[in-house]
A and B are shown apart, each in its own frame.
Chain A
Amino acid sequence: MQNLLKILLRYSNFLVFITLEVAAFLLISYNNAYPRSSFFSTANNFIAWQHEQMSEISGYFSLRYQNEQLAEENAALRNQIYMQDSTLTGSSYHCMAAKVVQMTTDEMHNYLTINRGNKDGIERGQGIRNKDGVVGIVRTVGRNYSVVIPIINTYTNLSCRFSKNDYIGTLQWDGKDIRFAQLTDVAAHMVVNPGDTIVTSGLSPVFPEGIPVGIVENSELKEGASYYTIRVRLHTNFKRLKYVEVVQNANQHELEELTNGVD
């Protein structure tokens, strides 16, 4: 008996080790065999609660990934809409998600860079939009990246129309406030009210018809002038632009060739 006690004392650490490991292995095999056993239900409730809390926090770390997924899904869904349009009108637009990697907003000639290039099929002159409305037009195409001239650039001329009566105007930017652009060439006989919706006209091959651009903030008809000065509040928030979609028109080349032939 005394010898046994001696042996136990001598190997007590090892015995503690073995006991603890056996307990741990019981936990493992228990968990492997009955992952939702009643014995561990409270523990599992706690784990579930903890995972819920954790995913609340860790969700922030995967936001970028989720955003990319959503952007791609949006592009796919918009493709389906264009597909339906094309069966009606014969146009053929295609959408592709892209991410803004760099952007200026405080210059006269602002531009932005997106992470798509000619390896993705981007070409000069293609339109860029986001979920809110028109963003700009592709200017320079590299292999992996492209430079876009947004509508908040004084070079921009975008053909737009009033959604209420299809009256056409040209959107320009005066280089002052990135929230507002100016609609020109709207004749004085037309009635313009604040709150009127401006959309793309579909007259150029860049954008399909009816993409939102903005709403009329105020309009002014100078004494004796034959055209309005209209201030348009843009839908697109350029300060927070992160994900955009490239609008590609399969007939763009043909349309451009035809118009060049006219010149």
Chain B
Amino acid sequence: MEWTKQLGRYIIVMLLQVLLFNQLQLLGVCHPYIYVLCLLMMPITLPHSADMAIGAIAGLIMDIFCNSLGIHTASCILLMFLRPYILGTLVNDKDRLNEQITLHVLGMETMLKYVTILVLIHHLSVFLLAAWSWAHIGFVLLETLVSSIVTIIVIIVYNALKYK
């Protein structure tokens, strides 16, 4: 998939994120950040530092929409930093990572592991930074769990529908 298509998908996903998923108010614990879909599915072809820079930009844009300067930036940088290592431990055949990372390429089990680990880390990071203290750790964990489940379902369903 060329980068223009990746960018197009990013714009559509961000619109969905801002107009739909940011409006969800399920008891105040469900804030799924589905925009990480675009970061998670990017192919591993760019240098690692470029990946992190892309993550920083995507996070900064999300921060502008959430008025949470720096929180998504930090979380996305962390996500993009960890991504190649997680993929490295989960996937043996590195050549498969030159395409974009989909359910079709990785298979259900690996894809689910990969998405779950990184979405959990990203969401936990966002909610911890937003709470900015350990006092509400129970609520933060609940928020992370509920929101991550929604995000993971969205990503897997998108993959299952798009790449049959």
B interface residues, Cβ below 8 angstroms from A: 18-19, 22-23, 48-49, 52-53, 56, 59, 63-65, 67-71, 73-74, 77-78, 81, 129, 132
Contacts and interface: CB of A to CB of B under 8 A. Distances in A.
Interface size class, chain A: 20 to 34
B69 A28 contact: yes
A28 B129 contact: yes
Nearest to A40: B69
Interface string A1-34: 0000000000011001100110111111111100
Given A16-B52, A47-B64, A50-B65, A27 B73 contact: yes
Contact of B70 (A16, A24, A58): A24
A169 to B, nearest CB: 50
Contact of B64 (A13, A32, A46, A61): A46
A23 B78 CA distance: 13
Contacts of A47: 64, 67
Given A13-B49, A31-B68, 8 more contacts: A12-B49, A17-B81, A24-B70, A24-B77, A32-B132, A40-B69, A46-B64, A62-B23
A29 B132 CA distance: 10
A57 interface: yes
Contacts of B73: 23-24, 27
A81 interface: no
Contacts of B78: 21
A47 B78 CA distance: 24
Which 6 residue pairs spanning A and B have beta carbons closest together?
A27-B70, A28-B70, A24-B74, A31-B69, A16-B49, A24-B73
Contacts of A101: none
Interface string A147-184: 00000000000000000000000000000000000000
Given A28-B129, A50-B64, A58-B19, A20 B53 contact: yes
A18 to B, nearest CB: 9
Contact of A31 (B22, B49, B59, B70): B70
Contact of A20 (B23, B56, B68, B71): B56
Nearest to A13: B48
Contacts of B129: 28
B70 A25 contact: yes
B25 to A, nearest CB: 10
Nearest to B53: A20
B69 A27 contact: yes
14 contacts: A13-B48, A16-B53, A21-B78, A23-B73, A24-B74, A27-B69, A27-B70, A27-B73, A31-B68, A31-B69, A46-B64, A47-B64, A50-B65, A61-B19
A239 interface: no
Nearest to A51: B67
B51 to A, nearest CB: 9
Given A28-B69, A58-B23, A20 B52 contact: yes
Contacts of A31: 68-70
Contacts of B74: 21, 24-25, 28
B69 A21 contact: no
A242 to B, nearest CB: 21
A30 B77 contact: no
B23 A61 contact: yes
